[in-house]
Amino acid sequence: MSPPASTPALTLHDSQRRALVPFAPLDPNHVRVYYCGPTVYDLAHVGNLRAMLTADLLVRLLRRLYPRVTFVRNITDVDDKITARARANSETIAALTARTTADFHADLAAIGIVPPDLEPRATDNIAEMQDIITRLLAHGHAYEAEGHVLFAVQSFPGYGTLSGRDTDDLIAGARVEVAPYKRNPGDFVLWKPSDDTQPGWDSPWGRGRPGWHIECSAMAHRYLGESFDIHGGGDDLLFPHHENERAQSLCCFPNGTFANVWLHNAMLLVDGEKMSKSLGNFYTVRDVLARGPAEALRLLLMTSHYRSTLNFTFGGLEDATRTLDRFYRALETTPPRADGIVPDSVMSALCDDLNTPRALAALHALADAALAGDSEASSGLKASGALLGLLDQTPADWFRAGVGLDETTIATLIEERLAARKARDFARADEIRAALAAQGVALEDTATGTQWRRG
RNA sequence: GGUCCGAUGGCAGAAUGGUGAUGCAGCGGACUGCAAAUCCGCGUAUGUGGGUUCGAUUCCCGCUCGGACCUCCA
């Protein structure tokens, strides 16, 4: 028995420091993570999945390294896009957000993303938002103007530190009409007035609704405190969303540090361009699952490092499917024991800023060994798959999923072909094989008999 | 216009200041009635021009090209 694998140190890329840093939890007994969740007005697309999957892998790894992890991912259920979509659909906001949230959960479950420990909704945290706004006003970090409450970026010397830009850049680069009531072009809304057709809550500043950024400050504080370990999201959130969140939180809770480490994943591309709703070049999760196994989609998203852009193609989905074929073939050839351990080759790759491509290369080495009959390797492959959220099916389920023919019919035809082969009637044997292939069933003659799988 | 990131074989994609993983595809072979699966073997790459260095794909500068953010966005 080999000694227990030593635990490699976890290193993560911190956007704020723009460097790989050793991960040092504030409390090693309780690691706390916040991720920005979806605005629930439409089906998720595969690009949206990338941040969710990165968080999933991070949390799976953290749970292996630390005794307790609290992972919070919010649901944004108040937003002008939601209001507009509900109106366009002639449905209530509540119906739209409830349905979209359920769809979101189903899509994530399909690709094996574990739910967060807490999934607070923005509309359940209005009071916390108002509390933060009140404090920001009291400390001179915010001001009222024409029914709005705005954050004053110049009141916070650290503004721009996270995203690496200063307020002068923002003025120079402003491509949008600056509202005349803003003191500084970079100021952003904390609270805005609602008319009768818009959702609203009573507040000291009149009936209104929150700005976009304040909800995350409120929920992160409520559930994780003034200081916590990791805050993540897509790199398109770095500015302005995360910059503004950070500014609000640090000004409201100056004794805290807000997030210690900022994690940002790169975008998914389609034909070299960012996949996005506004460009219309997106595939929903359901579009993709109609064309390939969910597990292959999960694997595909791990073939590239989370900080590299990944060009999404259906060819890539097919490649991922073939890779899983080989992994499952290895598990089928040499069944794993239940007590396998994750080899150091996999752990060290993941601990190196979630280097999934390197981890997958290690899985290939394990699969090679398992195919050669190495039970230790097979068990390690299975255990590594469990850590990565892969290889949870039986090989039989994987190889036979989606076959329309019933097994009895297939077995009968296999027997008939076997008889033909014994009689050396290969024309008939090949005819049967071709007929099965036409219906998506592939045959493999092995030393122990003829096996079938989806073709 | 401002800020930032990237460019590795046909494709995907790691790594590294000193002979460039891994997978897919391709080619040859073994096995097979033929296939499939599996196994063995093979080929092909660091965008471009400089600089630092004994040595650069790696570090620095310019250029070209691509992408992201500056507006809702994972």
Same fold, A11-269 and A293-300+307-399: no
pLDDT reported for residue A181: 85
pLDDT reported for residue A168: 66
Mean pLDDT of A413-417: 97
pLDDT at position A278 over 90: no
End-to-end CA distance of chain A: 40
- C1’ B47 / CA A112, Å: 39
Mean pLDDT of A91-97: 97
Give chain B positions with protein CB within 7 A: 1-5, 11-15, 21-25, 32-39, 66-74
Mean pLDDT of A368-383: 98
Mean pLDDT of A264-285: 93
Cβ atoms of A400 and A453 closer than 8 Å = yes
pLDDT reported for residue A2: 38
CATH annotation of A293-300+307-399: 1.20.120.640
* Element housing A295 (H / E): helix A294-302
pLDDT tens digits, one per residue of A228-245: 999 999 999 999 999 999
Closest nt to A80 (CA→C1')? B72
User: On the CB side of A12, how many CA atoms lie within 13 Å of its CA?
Assistant: 23
Mean pLDDT of A338-346: 96
Q: Is A216 annotated as a binding residue?
A: yes
- C1’ B51 / CA A440, Å: 60
pLDDT tens digits, one per residue of A281-326: 999 999 999 999 999 999 999 999 999 999 999 999 999 999 999 9
- C1’ B51 / CA A302, Å: 38
Closest nt to A232 (CA→C1')? B74
pLDDT tens digits, one per residue of A109-156: 999 999 999 999 999 999 999 999 999 999 999 999 999 999 999 999
Task: Band the pLDDT of A177: cuts 50, 70, 90.
Answer: low
Mean pLDDT of A29-50: 96
pLDDT reported for residue A443: 95
CA atoms of A275 and A46, how far apart (whole Å) = 8
Cβ atoms of A184 and A153 closer than 8 Å = yes
Average of per-residue pLDDT values in chain A: 94
> Could you give the ipTM of this predicted complex?
0.95
pLDDT at position A11 over 90: yes
- Rg over alpha carbons for chain A, rounded to the nearest Å, is 26
Q: Is A245 annotated as a binding residue?
A: yes
Mean pLDDT of A345-358: 97
pLDDT reported for residue A344: 96
pLDDT at position A364 over 70: yes
Mean pLDDT of A362-372: 98
The domain locations on chain A are 11-269, 293-300+307-399, 402-454
pLDDT reported for residue A175: 52
pLDDT reported for residue A167: 67
Can you read off the two tokens belonging to residue A377? Answer: 């390797």
DSSP A13: E
pLDDT reported for residue A6: 56
pLDDT at position A178 over 80: no
Q: Residue with structure tokens 């609602």?
A: A194
Percent of chain A scoring above 70 in pLDDT: 96
CATH class, range A11-269: alpha beta
CA atoms of A161 and A195, how far apart (whole Å) = 36
Cβ atoms of A40 and A97 closer than 8 Å = yes
What is the four-CA torsion angle of A402, A403, A406, A409, rounded to 10 degrees?
A: -170
Task: Band the pLDDT of A5: cuts 50, 70, 90.
Answer: very low
Closest nt to A18 (CA→C1')? B4
- C1’ B55 / CA A58, Å: 39
Mean pLDDT of A331-352: 96
pLDDT reported for residue A1: 33
Can you read off the two tokens belonging to residue A54? Answer: 């990165």
Percent of chain A scoring above 90 in pLDDT: 89
CB-based burial of residue A384 (10 Å sphere; 0-12 exposed, 13-18 middle, 19+ buried)? buried
Q: Is A422 annotated as a binding residue?
A: no
Q: Is A251 annotated as a binding residue?
A: no
Mean pLDDT of A393-399: 96
- C1’ B64 / CA A113, Å: 41
Q: Is A241 annotated as a binding residue?
A: yes
pLDDT reported for residue A408: 95
